Amino acid sequence: MILAREFFGLNLIAVIDLLLSNEIEVLCKASNLKKILSLGIKAEKGDSVKLTYMQAKFVSQNLIVECKCIYCDKVFKQKIRRREHFINDCCYNKKCIQKNNEFKFELKHGKGIKNPGQIKEVREKIENTCQKRFGASSPFGSKDVIKKREQNNLKKYGKKNVGSLPETREKIKNTCQKRYGTDSVFQAREVKEKISNTLKNRYGSNITNVSQIPEVRKKINNTLIENSEGTNINTSKEQKHIKDLINGFLNYKIGRKRIDIVRLDLMIAYEVDGRGHFAYSKNEDFEKQELEREELIFKAGFKLVRIVFDLEILSDEKMLKLISYCNTYLLSCNERKIIVDLRNNTITTSKTFDLKRVIQ
């Protein structure tokens, strides 16, 4: 088998010598007999003749040759026409074809450029087109597209984000374990290296994290300020959304601490704990601070509803039902705290039960 990778650096005569060493058996037909005779080979219709690869290529590109894939070592058959198109001997496996296409793209556009999206001019053109059509650098950033996707997900799955479904999370985890040996794709060593290399190539050797890019950092700060309603306290969109739902106060100060949301008319505080909250939950100092925060809440005369979630909260209707239940429960007994765990679909007071009993 002759591999295109072997040709680089060789002169043309050496390449032809390599090709001439391959013999291909060809059946003489009415369609190819004239070309075979023009090569100086004596033959008649129905005869079988042996030709070199270059001769066979001249006679017909529809001839089938046996090859060995350079990516997976599989022996397979293909037409000369396909072999010439793919440059390398590449089988019909999708992954092998993808690798070969990346190789061809690198030959044409330079080392490290494996797809059109990595070409600066193409990327700029895509972003400009998306800005005109959707008002965002990507179709997925369009408010209309996001709203439509959330509505479809609510109809099908009962949640805005499919990724928050337990079965989806379990499937993602299992796939990552099979491919990378980790629970998340971002924990995989090769993915971390690829992200780091991409950031360095695009933004310079000093950039090792997306948040170090000035435009991204500015956008993060603007979002936090917008969500916090001028208090400059880190505020998630879920905190702000729940505050609007129940008409509460955001980032209410009690002593030295800021409480996510409070209802002063009911004297109930609401702590909204998302994925970012649990990034620090294994830290002993953090746990200590959380206990101090709860004690401050209770000493100030408030009762506490702690809402725990992973990727997203429930629909507005279900959240209002849950919060209304929690309010009624706390105001009608001596309990000081209730935990609503949307990850495990449970409500915990002095006992734990399924929250579906409340929202159905």
The 3-state DSSP composition of the chain as helix, strand, coil percent (nearest 5) reads: 50, 15, 30
User: Where exactly does CATH 3.40.960 map onto the chain?
Assistant: 229-359
Structure confidence by residue, pLDDT tens digits, 139-180: 888 888 888 888 898 888 888 888 777 888 888 888 888 888
Phi, psi of 59, rounded to the nearest 5 degrees = -70, -50
Contact 20, 52 (CB under 8 A): yes
In the prediction, which pLDDT does 21 show? 44
More confident residue, 261 or 61: 261
Return the top range by mean pLDDT from 69-73, 77-81, 283-287: 69-73
User: Which of 342, 349, 346 is closest to 304 using CA atoms?
Assistant: 349
Cα angle 231, 324, 319 (rounded to 5 degrees) comes to 70
The answer to whether the CB of 276 falls within 8 A of the CB of 309 is: no
Q: Please compute Rg for the chain using Cα positions.
A: 32
Both tokens of 1, joined, read: 């088998």
3-class DSSP state for residue 161?
coil
Residues near 233 by beta carbon (within 8 Å), at least 6 away in sequence: 251, 258
Spatial distance between the Cα atoms of 191 and 57, rounded to a whole number of angstroms: 42
Within 8 A by CB and 6+ apart from 140, the residues are 146
Fold of 229-359: Endonuclease; Chain A (3.40.960)
Residue 100 near residue 86, CB atoms below 8 Å: yes
Who has greater pLDDT, 231 or 217? 217
Question: Encoding tokens for residue 68?
Answer: 């060995």
d(CA 229, CA 209): 27
| pLDDT above 90 (res 101) | no
Distance separating alpha carbons of residues 322 and 92, to the nearest angstrom: 54
For the cut 90, the answer to whether the pLDDT of residue 184 exceeds it is no
Alpha-carbon gap, residue 355 to 162, rounded angstroms: 20
